[in-house]
Amino acid sequence: MNLEKILKNTFLVLLACLVLSACATKKVSTGQLQGDVYTGTDTVEYLASGVPDRVFFATNESVLTTASRDTLRKQATWLRKKSDINVVLEGHADERGTREYNLALGERRANAAKDYLMTYGISSNRISVISYGKERPVDSGSNPLSWSKNRRSVTVKAN
């Protein structure tokens, strides 16, 4: 499956929708949304070539999307090869929620990613989890696209 191709196609479809509906809202210049899940690569970093470091979530959700599961399988494959590396999963929420609930939500998101890595053979003692709630946004914007980039779980090398 060629992810890039899919993403490109999605982008074209989205763009077409925007043009066709003569949407009056601001043009989305970078990145894309599917539903309200971020599908772009703007903020994404790579743990190794072809291994994205983060997955994105819908508002108030911690369910992994098809794209997220794909990313996590790549991470699992990489982690199986690099058996000396441990990781921290950092769960985040957007700014559109109360601080305390967002802390819990970030923890839930990071654990959704952790569970998935574990089903692909990564031992739980190689994975720790931390939630930052809404405290560490990657994008300081106050709009749906920025918020979508901030609803994320990021896999970070711990050693």
Partner 1 sequence: MKFRYIFLLIVLLPIKAFALIEVDITRGNLSPLPIAVSPLSIDEESKENFRMILKKKNIGSEISKIVENNLKQSGLFNPLNKDAFLQKPEIANLKPRFEDWALIKAQALVTGKVTSVDDKLRVEFRLWDVLAGKEMMALAFTTVPTNWRRVGHIITDKVYERLTGEKGYFDTRIIYVAEEGPKTNRIKKLAIMDQDGFNTKYLTLGNELVLTPRFSPTNQMVTYLSYFRNLPRVYLLDIETGVQEVVGDFAGMTFAPRFSPDGKKIIMSFAMDGNSDIYTMDLENRLVERITNHPSIDTSPSYSPNGKYICFNSDRSGYQQIYVMKSDGTNVKRISYGKGLYGTPVWSPRGDLIAFTKLHKGKFFIGVMRIDGKGERLLTENFYQEAPSWSPNGRVLIFYRETKTDAKGEGFSAKLWSIDLTGYNERLVETESDASDPSWSALLSN
Per CB under 8 A, residues contacting partner 1 are 26, 60, 62, 95-101, 103-105, 107-108, 110-112, 115, 129-132, 135-142, 146
Return the number of the residue (41 or 59) whose C-beta is nearest partner 1: 59
Reduced to 3 states, what is the DSSP secondary structure of residue 93?
A: coil
Give the whole-angstrom CA distance, residue 72 versus residue 118. 10
Q: Which is nearer to partner 1, 54 or 78 (CB)?
A: 54
Which positions ≥6 away from 73 have C-beta within 8 Å? 120
| Residue 13 DSSP label | H
CB closer to partner 1, 79 vs 103 = 103
* DSSP assignment letter at 125: G
Find the shortest distance in angstroms from Cβ 53 to partner 1: 17
Which tokens is 98 given? 């109360």
